[in-house]
Structure 1
Amino acid sequence: MEKISVIVPCYNEQESLPLFYNEIKKTEEKMHSVFFEYIFVDDGSKDGTLAIIKELAEIDKKIKYISFSRNFGKEAAIYAGFQNCQGDYAVLMDADLQDPPKLLPKMYDYIKNNEYDSVATRRVTRKGEPRIRSFFARMFYKIINKISDADIVDGARDYRLMTRRMIDAILSMSEYNRFSKGIFGWIGFNTKWIEYENIERVAGETKWSFWKLFRYSIEGILAFSIVPLQLASIMGIVFFGISIVLIVFLIVRTLVFGDPVAGWPSLACLITLIGGVQLLSIGILGQYLSKTYLETKKRPIYISREENWDD
């Protein structure tokens, strides 16, 4: 019997976990030909998430869990899930039921009866989401697809079912600075996309503020594109060319027409502009350098405080 590993990253999800468990068990009952294992990854939650996971593990021996020593972030939780899953397939799901378990039989049917290595989901609407957040999200997908090799579909969710060979390919990319959506697209493999309407959280509050999403998008761009570095170089060349033209213009105007150089306000504006471009370029370089610095440290992606693999 084939096995599906259900990987569930959790951070402060005490309200939604019991509801999620009830729904995924209903789905499991419909898929009689497949054995399920559950891997709950507690990402250093501050509420009763871990206690609820332990309670569920007591009544369901298919449940395994790992609890981090602190909050390492969802990317670390996703990696931990992949690293510890034993299934022929693995499905990544959020505990807030924004990833509907009822789609899983359909996803399994696609991957089993066709030559797909992955069946992924995407939202076709962003109902219930602030307009400005939706606007910036769409802009991010457009930008990263133009400047990188990662194929990221607009509205893509982390919710996807994958074969073992795709899981192994993901694990081979053991980089510290992780951006899973980009990794899924970069490694390739045949992917079937399933569309569905946006579903709001069943309980609790989102952990993703606008600022966190903005930082996450920057992480994605830095992880899969060097265009910002190229842009900094282009700006340097452009401003160097402009400065040469202005120098020649001022010399000619002074020598030929006897016109003295204009006052300091225009000079101050130019110095401020060029200084700003220089600082921006240094900042871009610094971001890439900082990522390189973190990679060379070879720190673990996560640290486990507690787990029940041997129970």
Structure 2
Amino acid sequence: MKRELISLIVPCYNEEEMIPLYITEIEKIMINMPEVDYEYVFVNDGSKDQTLKVLKEQALLNSHVRYLSFSRNFGKEAGLYAGLKHAKGDYVVVMDVDLQDPPELLPEMYRLIKTEAFDCIGTRRSTRKGEPPIRSYFARQFYRLINRISDTEIVDGARDYRMMTRQMVNAILEISEYNRFSKGIFSWVGFETKYLEFENKERVAGETSWSFWSLFKYSIDGIVAFSEAPLDIASIVGFLSFAAAVVLAIFFAIRTLIFGNPTSGWTSLITIILGLGGMQLLSLGILGKYVGKVFLEAKRRPIYILKETDEDLRNHETTK
């Protein structure tokens, strides 16, 4: 009887140290899951270190290892999409290579998705222990904000780490938009999802490529991708500015009729001009963000470009 296949999608950017450690830990888990077969789908996202070299070495040593290598850095979202597109498994797992996503949850995820008819077993951190306080604060505020202004619920602390059925993966692949926010897409497609909680873990080796600024920009992309609330805010700000201008015009007209037209008032005039100008620039900035996203979608550029894969490596080795 043919065993079911689990695909492990692992985006990598400058992770030469972590790849062998990751494979070692996963092998310890998979040896206790003899009822399934598995494959690694590493996605080298234009790494500047020896990540590609390490992947080639691992692919020659381990028949379970597959890899995709981009022509340049396209970002984690492109890596996830490429991995999903090339995964062959009946069940697909998305994981980070840094082992902050605990591999020991894999057997329980497989058991739940098989026995309780879930389409997806996701994970979420129960605590943010070890994370910088400022990052934790803004992360909580982001989840609180986006769940208020968006119709798509995004679970606080939810990780990309999850196991999905082939049906759910195919549904995600139908969403081929250029501007991607996977946490929102996973939720938007629907399907029955159960979350497993775990405590936050530190990286085993290497350094994260996610700075506070990159996470902030990522959160803005998520808000723009799954909510029109900023556009509504821009409209409201514009209306309130116009209303304030009308009220002030009436006020100053009445004051002039009663008290005359004194030369004083320069400060209030400049304050009003700066205030209204700032509101207009804010509204234009919000509109510009959406227009920019539409512009990128209209160009219909590919989400990623492959430079080479493990198949190229194996074909080369065969023809030697």
TM-score (norm. length: structure 1): 0.98
**Which residue in the other structure is 1:100 paired with?**
102
Gaps of 5+ in 1: none
Deviation, structure 1 residue 208: 0.4
Tell whether the 8 Å contact from 2:56 to 2:310 is kept in structure 1 after alignment.
Answer: no
Alignment deviations for residues 91-110 of structure 1 (CA, whole Å, 9 cap, x no partner): 00111100111100000111
Please, which moves more after superposition, 100-109 or 244-253? 244-253
**Which residue in the other structure is 2:123 paired with?**
121
Give the one of 288, 306, 309 matched to 2:308.
306
**Which residue in the other structure is 2:278 paired with?**
276
**Which residue in the other structure is 2:178 paired with?**
176
- Give the superposed CA RMSD: 1.1
Give the AA of the match of 2:30: E
Please, which moves more after superposition, 257-266 or 86-95? 257-266
Give the AA of the match of 2:308: E
Deviation, structure 1 residue 24: 0.4
Give distance in 2, aligned partners of 1:99 and 1:274. Answer: 48
Give distance in 2, aligned partners of 1:184 and 1:250. Answer: 54
Give distance in 1, aligned partners of 2:264 and 2:163. Answer: 67
Give the one of 154, 157, 167 matched to 1:152.
154
Give distance in 1, aligned partners of 2:222 and 2:37. Answer: 34
Deviation, structure 1 residue 186: 1.1
Aligned CA distance change for structure 1 residues 228 and 261 (closer, same or farther; 3 Å): farther
**Which residue in the other structure is 2:29 paired with?**
27
Give distance in 2, aligned partners of 1:181 and 1:88. Answer: 21
**Which residue in the other structure is 2:139 paired with?**
137
Give the AA of the match of 1:17: I
Give the one of 70, 84, 94 matched to 1:68.
70
Give the secondary structure class of the aligned counterpart of 2:203.
coil
Deviation, structure 1 residue 245: 1.1
Give the secondary structure class of the aligned counterpart of 2:31.
helix
Please, which moves more after superposition, 116-125 or 58-67? 58-67
Deviation, structure 1 residue 241: 0.9
Matched, 1:18 2:20: yes
**Which residue in the other structure is 1:243 paired with?**
245
Alignment deviations for residues 262-305 of structure 1 (CA, whole Å, 9 cap, x no partner): 42111001100110110111011111000000000000000011
Alignment deviations for residues 128-167 of structure 1 (CA, whole Å, 9 cap, x no partner): 1110010001000111111112211111111000001110
Give the one of 254, 257, 279 matched to 1:255.
257
Give distance in 2, aligned partners of 1:150 and 1:202. Answer: 33
Give the secondary structure class of the aligned counterpart of 1:116.
coil
**Which residue in the other structure is 1:285 paired with?**
287
Give the AA of the match of 2:252: L
Give the secondary structure class of the aligned counterpart of 2:155.
coil
Give the AA of the match of 1:186: W
Give distance in 2, aligned partners of 1:44 and 1:248. Answer: 61
Give the AA of the match of 2:151: D
How many aligned positions are there?
A: 311
Give distance in 2, aligned partners of 1:280 and 1:38. Answer: 45
Deviation, structure 1 residue 308: 2.1
Give the AA of the match of 2:161: Y
Deviation, structure 1 residue 125: 0.9
Give the one of 267, 277, 280 matched to 1:265.
267
**Which residue in the other structure is 1:42 paired with?**
44
Matched, 1:55 2:57: yes
Please, which moves more after superposition, 133-142 or 58-67? 58-67
Give the secondary structure class of the aligned counterpart of 2:107.
helix
Give distance in 2, aligned partners of 1:309 and 1:146. Answer: 46
Give the AA of the match of 1:246: L
Give the secondary structure class of the aligned counterpart of 1:30.
coil
Give the one of 184, 196, 199 matched to 1:197.
199
Give the secondary structure class of the aligned counterpart of 1:5.
strand
Deviation, structure 1 residue 260: 3.7
Gaps of 5+ in 2: 315-320
Give the AA of the match of 2:242: F
